[in-house]
Amino acid sequence: MDSVAYKKTENLFLAGLLIISFLAILAEELLLKRSLKLTPDSSNVAIYNSDDSRVTGASRSTLKYDENGFLLDCHIVQSNYAWPYCSIVFDFSIPETSSQPFGYDLSGYSEVEIEVSYLTPDHRNLGARFQSRNFNPAYSQIGNFDSLKFGTLEFFPAKEEQVIKFNLQDMNVPSWWLGANKVTLSQSRPEYGDVILLEVSTDSTITPGHYQLRLTSLTLKGRYLADIDLYLLISLLWVCCGFLLLVKRLNVFKFALMETHKEKQNLNEIVIRDQLTGCYNRNALDQFLSSTSEQSINTEYSLIICDIDHFKQINDQYGHLVGDQVLTELVKLVSRYLTPSQKLIRWGGEEFIILCPNTKADNAVILAQSIRTAVQQATWPEQIQLTASFGVAEKESQEHQKALMHRADLALYHSKRTGRNKVSLAGYDQSIAS
């Protein structure tokens, strides 16, 4: 095949890929959406009212349905039951001959659209609650209603749009349920694979009185194929086809050479990158310092050592998983303050080094102060109040790397010894203003 014919065939091939990709995205938008609207005519679901009279309370409720939707008439009565409520229940449990209940698989749905309001006067501060209860044999027990995993979200209808939209993943598992069922961390998130009940109810702070709750519509929406899966398939198609074109364009020798070069780059990247945080590691620091020394022993640069304050206490109190999250988020935060020439290196544990080429000590101190302030003001996992201490040193003429590191380390020790959450400059007895 001559070059003109080959080019034409290649263009037709790429045009076909574009058409297939466009049709796949169009089909996903038009044909692959799913919707579950819950009405009295919905099959495989029983709809009824519930209230705390079922659990030793004294509240009473009735449920009606008209052209405007569901109307829950609720009389909240104070009793010995601490959490009075009235609710509209959508019951998906299907009677089976076996002892295990079966609900409805809502894992393919991601969004809830609900139109709900109070008809009661002075309703602006009245809250509502959307709740799910899921069965999982790993922790649920037949006959133990409280072992069904609760997912809940409370909101104030009068303060939202007419149609309230939220994601199922916005819901939370109540702490009382987690404490009562002692599930693993991986089981502590909401689940929707076998939903027994959905409920729309008064909120947890409702006070005694007469209320009317109108549920106009309740719809769950999702996709048969998630966006990320669709785009992954399209990307995989393009990658595979691109690979075939590459094979046709290149001979075996060039292809092998390219793969060898790519593997070398990947290996080098693995060697100099910290696996947890993605920043550079000690190996990279040696390379950077060696490169700087080769240019000139008198090259001007500064070194910042950063150490997270009381990091051991974070690991002890919240666990190493949270500690790892803190380290990862810290690297993201610090990286936003660095120029392309400045390098962030994880020196070990919770200690990091920032290499600042062509930077005087005063500018390095300003940088360290900015990072220190950002660390103190940032929001961290588990609402941890995080601070960090810093030591700064500027390379002196003819000074070797180990001596520079030692001075920066002494400055860091000074910050730690004088109260932490400080920046100290090597060569000065007092820490910079914190």
Which pLDDT score, from 0 to 100, does residue 430 have? Answer: 42
329 occurs within a structural domain: yes
What secondary structure, in 3-state letters, does 132-186 show?
EEECCCCCCECCEHHHCEEEEEEECHHHCCCCEEEEHHHCECCHHHHHHHCCCHH
**Domain encompassing residue 312:** 256-425
In a domain, 432, yes or no: no
- Residues whose CB falls within 8 Å of the CB of residue 349, separated by 6 or more in sequence, listed in order: 311
CATH code of the domain containing 168: 2.60.120.260
Please give the pLDDT value at position 434: 44
Closest CA to 344 of 262, 278, 425: 278
Average pLDDT estimate for 269-286? 86
Q: What is the number of structural domains in the chain?
A: 3
Same domain, 188 and 216: yes
Residue 320 and residue 394 in one domain: yes
Q: Are 76 and 206 in contact (CB under 8 A)?
A: yes
Q: Are strands 128-134 and 195-202 parallel, antiparallel or unpaired?
A: antiparallel
Residue 434 lies inside a defined structural domain of this protein: no
Q: At what angle do helices 282-295 and 252-272 cross, to 10 degrees?
A: 100
Is 271 in the same domain as 284?
yes
DSSP state of 15: H
Same domain (yes/no): 272, 401 = yes
Residue 188 maps to a domain: yes
Task: Let me know the angle formed at the C-alpha of 293 by 292 and 297, rounded to the nearest 5 degrees.
Answer: 120
Calculate the average pLDDT of the chain: 86
From 223, 238, 264, the end of a domain falls on 223
pLDDT at 29: 65
Q: Is pLDDT at 384 greater than 70 in this prediction?
A: yes
Residues catalogued as catalytic: 350
Predicted confidence at residue 3, as pLDDT, reads: 60
- For residue 85, which of 203, 212, 209 has the smallest C-alpha distance? 203
Q: Are residues 76 and 208 in the same domain?
A: yes
Are 69 and 166 within one domain? yes
> 431 in a domain, yes or no?
no
Average pLDDT rounded to a whole number, residues 168-193: 91
**For residue 138, how far is the Cα from the chain centroid?**
25
Task: Report the pLDDT value the prediction gives residue 297, as an integer from 0 to 100.
Answer: 47
Same domain (yes/no): 194, 276: no
Q: Are residues 366 and 338 in the same domain?
A: yes
Is 25 in the same domain as 101?
A: no
Q: Which token pair is 223?
A: 């996709």
pLDDT exceeding 90 applies to what percent of the chain? Answer: 54
pLDDT bin (cut points 50, 70, 90) of residue 252 is very low
Domain membership of residue 433 (yes or no) is no
Residue 351 lies in a domain: yes
Mean pLDDT score, 332-353: 94
Which of the pair, 432 or 32, is modelled with greater confidence?
Answer: 32
**293 found inside a domain:** yes
